[in-house]
Amino acid sequence: MSLTSAAGKTQKISAAILTLGMAATVGTALGFQHIGGYIPCKLCLEQRLPYYIGVPVMALALLSAVFRMPAIVTRSLLLVGALLMTWGLYLGGFHAGVEWGWWPGPTDCGAVAPSAGGDAGSLLDSLNAVVPPSCDQAAGRFLGLSFAGWNVIASLFLAAVAYVGAFRKA
């Protein structure tokens, strides 16, 4: 195996892990919301942004690696993914800190976007029936961590994979 094909394999594997990992992470959050009935707070919704941006970028990185585009293209896309997951790590850490009471959260934390669908009358009824959660109250904990805490772990892992893929020498 040549040195360039070894590096290309690392980039391909990294891009595949990142595409699937980011999609699974944000998909799980959406599943808890739409199937499990958990209403996300403002900070929960903000934590999804790096994933919404990252999934298509990592899909491009995977395509770039599969079609053997110049290594700088794939590495640059992986670096974008690494920076997005670093941002996600910050957002998750900030939210977890708010939940643990280490620092205050935003004052407008009770405002969440209403779900789409239905007519105007049912929308107003649902607004009256739904009480937006506060950012300082974890919706639930699993093994001692809230959703924000688990996002910290997922973001840290995905950022590490992305940095390795972007900078690893063959």
Q: What angle do CA 51, 55, 58 make, to 5 degrees?
A: 125
Give the pair of three-digit tokens for residue 72: 């700088």
Return the pLDDT at 34.
94
pLDDT at 60 over 50: yes
Least confident segment among 15-19, 31-35, 151-155: 31-35
Structure confidence at residue 38 as a pLDDT band (50, 70, 90): confident
pLDDT digits (tens, 9 = 90+) for 79-114: 999 999 999 999 999 999 999 889 988 888 864 555
CA–CA dist 78, 12 (Å, integer): 10
CATH topology of domain 3-113+132-167: Bromodomain-like (1.20.1550)
- Sorted by where each begins, the domain ranges of the chain are 3-113+132-167
pLDDT at 1 over 70: no
